[in-house]
């Protein structure tokens, strides 16, 4: 019989969705590699200097990338975020290194950036991202699915790579 087979259709849809998610993770990994390359070789002063007219430094931007990814992908999936609470608080939107009681360490930020993408892929393979709470961002953009959150995380990281590149020019 050549008619519609619901089970085959579901398997084909799941396979396409899996391939699409693999592509999303591939792009997230490429962007993360570029972020890490951009951060490579910075001096302690370059990490922590806040140029005049800027609210944050390179260290905050790098940490903010990780915190935003963790909050979007994990918290909205009903999971604990895989970054320490104090790390997330220090690098949350609208925070500033000027408010930190104790500084962040570049090594900790790099460690989290290095492990977050592989950990996210591993957790996805384990089926941990089966739920997602849709959210509307301040910009008005609505993220309805986990995959949309991954796309936003990629775009958000690109914005902050640009900030880091600009800051690097100012804190030579």
pLDDT in tens, the chain (172 residues): 567 676 765 565 555 556 688 999 999 999 999 999 999 999 999 999 999 999 999 999 999 999 999 999 999 999 999 999 999 999 999 999 999 888 899 999 999 999 999 999 999 999 999 999 999 999 999 999 999 999 999 999 999 999 999 999 999 8
Letter string b/e over residues 82-105, b meaning 16 or more CB atoms within 10 A of that residue's CB? bbeeebbebbeeebebeeeeeebe
CA–CA gap between residue 144 and residue 32 (Å, rounded): 23
Considering the chain, what percentage of its residues have pLDDT values greater than 90? 83
Domain ranges within the chain, ordered by starting residue? 6-170
Q: Do 55 and 100 meet the contact criterion of CB atoms below 8 Å apart?
A: no
Mean pLDDT value across the chain: 92
CATH 1.10.3720.10, applies to 6-170? no
The per-residue pLDDT for 19 is 67
């Amino acid at each position: 019989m050549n008619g519609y087979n619901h089970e085959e259709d579901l398997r084909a849809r799941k396979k396409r969705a899996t391939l699409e998610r693999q592509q999303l993770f591939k792009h997230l990994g490429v962007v993360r590699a570029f972020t890490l390359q951009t951060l490579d070789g910075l001096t302690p002063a370059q990490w922590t200097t806040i140029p005049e007219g800027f609210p944050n430094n390179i260290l905050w931007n790098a940490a903010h990338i990780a915190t935003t990814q963790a909050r979007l992908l994990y918290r909205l999936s009903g999971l604990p975020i895989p970054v320490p609470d104090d790390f997330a608080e220090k690098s949350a939107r609208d925070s500033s290194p000027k408010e930190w009681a104790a500084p962040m360490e570049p090594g900790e930020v790099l460690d989290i950036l290095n492990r977050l993408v592989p950990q996210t892929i591993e957790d996805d393979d384990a089926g941990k991202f089966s739920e997602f709470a849709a959210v509307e961002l301040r910009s008005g953009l609505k993220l309805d699915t986990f995959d949309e959150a991954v796309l936003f995380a990629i775009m958000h990281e690109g914005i902050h790579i640009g900030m880091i590149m600009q800051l690097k020019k100012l804190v030579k």
